[in-house]
């Protein structure tokens, strides 16, 4: 599916917190919202974005909505990073890193 949507979904700190929370246990929308100072509606919006990206699934049980992570999509995101690192490593094995000497300084170039 869309790795596109996944990264942009977990790019938001609130949504990453929700995802982390769900990695520990499934939870209802209310349970997910309670740690935040924002309104339930705001959190519900974030949840819908995560749902739209396929990061989580939601299911109505009684009058509450239970949420759970969708492993497949998260695995896809990880694969994107895996592939990236592999391509990068392969290339370095062949060519060497012309920026290697600067690797220690984190400062942006000027």
By CB under 8 A, name the binding residues for its own copies. 4, 7-13, 16, 19-20, 22-28, 31, 48, 51-52, 54, 57-61, 65-66, 68-69, 71, 74-75, 77-78, 81-85, 87-89, 91, 97-99, 102-103, 105-106, 108-110
- Shortest distance, position 76 Cβ to DNA, whole Å: 20
- Shortest distance, position 63 Cβ to DNA, whole Å: 4
Cα 26 versus chain centre, distance: 16
Structure tokens at 37: 């100072």
What is the CB neighbour count within 10 angstroms for residue 88? 11
Measure the CA–CA gap between 39 and 18, rounded to whole angstroms.
Answer: 14
């Amino acid at each position: 599916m869309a790795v596109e949507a996944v990264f942009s979904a977990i790019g938001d700190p609130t949504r990453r917190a929700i995802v982390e929370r769900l990695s520990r246990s499934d939870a209802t929308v209310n349970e997910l919202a309670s740690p935040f100072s924002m309104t339930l509606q705001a959190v519900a919006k974030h949840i819908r974005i995560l749902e739209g990206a396929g990061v989580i699934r939601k299911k109505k049980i009684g009058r509450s909505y239970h949420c759970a992570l969708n492993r497949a999509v998260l695995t896809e995101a990880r694969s994107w990073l895996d592939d990236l690192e592999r391509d990068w490593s392969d290339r370095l094995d062949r060519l060497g890193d012309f920026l290697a000497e600067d690797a220690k300084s984190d400062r942006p170039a000027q």
